[in-house]
Amino acid sequence: MAKEPKPKPAEPPFLNRELSWIDFNFRVLEQAEDPALPPLERLKFAAITASNADEFFMVRVGGLKLLQRQGEDRPDPAGLAPAAQLAEIAARMHELVERQHACLQKEIEPALRKGGIRRLRMEELAAPQRRHVDALFADSIFPVITPVAVEPGGEFPLLAGLGLALYVRLEGTPEDSAPRHALVAVPKILPRFLALPGETGFPYVLLEEAIRAHVGLLFPGVAVQECAAFRITRNADMGVREDQAGDLLEQMREVLVERKESDCVRLEIEKRASKEAQAFLRAALDVAAADVYAVPGPLDLAAFFRLANLAGTEALKIEPWTPQAAPEAPPAESAFAVLQRDNLLLFHPYESYDFVLRWLQEAADDPNVLAIKQVLYRVSDNSPVVAALMRAAERGKHVTALVELKARFDEARNIDWADALARAGAQVIYGVKGYKTHAKVCVVVRREPEGVVRYVHYGTGNYNEKSARLYSDVSFLTSQADYGADASAFFNALTGYSQLAKFRKLEAAPLGIRPRLLDLIGNEAERSRQGEEAGIEAKLNSLADPELIEALCKASQAGVRIRLNVRGICCLRPGVKGLSENVSVVSVVDRYLEHARIVRFRNGGAPLTFISSADWMPRNLDRRIELLVPVEDPAGADKLAQILETCLADTRQAWTLRSDGTWERRQPDAKRPALRAQEEFQRRAEMRAAEAVQRQAPAFEPQRPAEQKKQA
């Protein structure tokens, strides 16, 4: 009697976090591969995928390698132990590199050449161009670079993570015929793209190619047998030991030094490099074969983002969308007057971030403003936000700035800003022990005829005017007393010894957000069982928290329709019969980075709507200080509901997550008409701004015949 086949094991309910992130980066790469986009826009997306990968290796791969070295073999919720995750990551990332460079060299660069942006190799240069590079090398490059000899088995020079370098193999000596080895670090202070004369457009040669062409001058009298470009990525998954005594600022400076000396987690080397070069560098850096990426093109593709912003190349770029002034906040009106009239909810970058800056700058100069308190997580290089805080402090206002020193990869900038603010007279807090402060909140305390009023900004994005033009985020500004009281209580808890107490409106992580979300999800499940209206719509960057995922699955089993717009990581496996069949997940990837966090619960027909600084991940809910902010006024709640519905209905730039963990590009059909969410948001903002201008314009009255005759 034939044996019955064994039942196929069920798919695990969770998807792996790291592989889900890689899937997101492939979705970004598809933008670079889209022939309908102009070439500089495609180049931008290719550069973004490379920049994303750099951070992924430094943090996520670095962390997994630490776990593997410690002998950790416990599987993640998706059932993969660290070693298995690293193997899967390597396979997918090698594929990503091949696709990046195939797209760059076969599609993007040929289109750029037609538009006048040409990357030339040294052997392609005309004689005047070669003379130009020779002179440039002699005058500006040769005095800066320094060759360093490397003995096999000896101490390896300390190279900067993500910095370019050249490996040089030299002939041996008469006494010892074995080849000798040297390194030449490519200085970051020199421009990567060397402009060439004699042609229209922007012909250029890469800095490392110019150094390679002249490398023999660094070793006079010695034959160069090989010169190969390479780049290392160091583990950056490290932080301060906050369980130990010591000054946080000093400990953070020590972490920055430690990162410069950490282990190599990835070796990128140009594909034409010899096996000998690879073997030498692998041994010197202690890198496994799977962590060597033979790159079939220029290294450090992230640097090409600079070309995407090249001036005078508008024909090769997408048509810009101009952020619009919100009709509720006329530019000529005081920001305080606007917020005295009503709450204000802005959707950036479609609606301009200028109002937030104007409010802060007005607060700095207003003699009636008594205090400003603000959390700074990531700000720009020449931040007008910090400049306003410094000016306010210098004018005698009580300024408190919580500058989060542990904001990864912005630590050095934040240390500098903290020092500058302190010198200006602000009270500076360096974060909260044991947590990252990721909340986006600013409160302005103002003396008014009826008493002291608190004006508050709560947001989903950082106080960074540059990213506010590139990221899709929400700002909620109000002068309502409950929100102001909560903001004051929040800052008092951060700067003093009090706990994050029960607020009037807000919830704060690490204590309150997860329980509140679990309660709201459970409420929808119970309402569905009772036959009431139930549903959940959420817009997030990432969904990875096991407890929330399990709660969503239980709500799905209770009949709750759950529609999620998750930009990047999604560990929930949707559409699985009996588990998550009422859950759908869509991801929108378009010209702006989707960054807003919005969630809406149907609540039996009386919807509850929130914005938040937090994604639904263990790190946000357990190890960060975050805020969940209810938006209760009908206009703001309706606007957020429209944002959710539009993103969920996108059929042009959206992807649907299938139950097997793969992503499928959406296409318009009879049931779902063509809709591009970001384009629709821009259209709405422009239409509202135009209507506001039209309402303010004086009515046109045609002249009567007698008046016309009199004027004549």
> What confidence tens digit (pLDDT) does each residue in 481-526 have?
999 999 999 999 988 756 677 899 999 999 999 999 999 999 999 9
Q: What is the pLDDT of residue 154?
A: 75
Distance between CA atoms of 478 and 508, rounded to whole angstroms? 18
Which one, of 602, 561, 555, lies nearest residue 579 by Cα?
555
| DSSP string for 169-188 | EE---SS--S-EEEEEE--T
CA angle 624, 625, 628 (to 5 degrees): 115
Distance between CA atoms of 585 and 616, rounded to whole angstroms? 14
11-115: which CATH architecture? Up-down Bundle (1.20)
Q: Are 376 and 385 in contact (CB under 8 A)?
A: yes
Q: How many residues does the chain have?
A: 712
Distance between CA atoms of 572 and 531, rounded to whole angstroms? 26
Q: Are 569 and 17 in contact (CB under 8 A)?
A: yes
- CA of 401: how far to CAs of 414, 419, 425, 427, 641, in Å? 11, 11, 11, 6, 33
> What confidence tens digit (pLDDT) does each residue in 289-320 have?
999 999 999 999 999 999 988 988 999 999 99
Catalytic machinery residues = 438
Q: What is the pLDDT of residue 247?
A: 53
Predicted confidence (pLDDT) at residue 60 exceeds the cutoff of 60: yes
> What confidence tens digit (pLDDT) does each residue in 105-134 have?
999 999 999 999 999 999 999 999 999 999
Q: Are 259 and 441 in contact (CB under 8 A)?
A: no
Q: Are 278 and 292 in contact (CB under 8 A)?
A: yes
Distance between CA atoms of 209 and 215, rounded to whole angstroms? 10
> What confidence tens digit (pLDDT) does each residue in 387-445 have?
999 999 999 999 999 998 876 777 888 888 889 999 999 999 988 888 899 999 999 99
**Residue ranges per structural domain of the chain:** 11-115, 118-238+247-301, 335-502, 508-695
Integer Rg of the chain from CA: 28
Half-sphere exposure of 606 (CA within 13 A, CB side): 4
- The reply to whether 335-502 and 508-695 are identical in fold is yes
Q: How confident is the model at residue 641 (pLDDT cuts 50, 70, 90)?
A: very high
Torsion, Cα 89 94 100 102, to 10 degrees, reads -150
Q: How confident is the model at residue 701 (pLDDT cuts 50, 70, 90)?
A: very low
335-502: which CATH architecture? 2-Layer Sandwich (3.30)
Reduce the DSSP state of residue 635 to 3 states and report it: helix
| CATH, range 508-695 | 3.30.870.10
Give percent of the chain with pLDDT exceeding 90: 79
DSSP H helical segments within 545-631, as ranges? 546-557, 618-622
Reduce the DSSP state of residue 542 to 3 states and report it: coil
357: CB partners within 8 A, 6+ apart: 384, 385, 388, 465
Q: What average pLDDT does the chain have? A: 91
Range 192-208 average pLDDT = 92
Which helix H or strand E contains 207, and what residues bound it? helix 207-213
> What confidence tens digit (pLDDT) does each residue in 453-473 have?
999 999 999 999 999 999 999
Q: Are 166 and 145 in contact (CB under 8 A)?
A: no
Predicted confidence (pLDDT) at residue 255 exceeds the cutoff of 50: yes
Q: Kindly state which CATH superfamily the domain 118-238+247-301 is placed in.
A: Polyphosphate kinase middle domain (3.30.1840.10)
pTM for the whole structure: 0.91
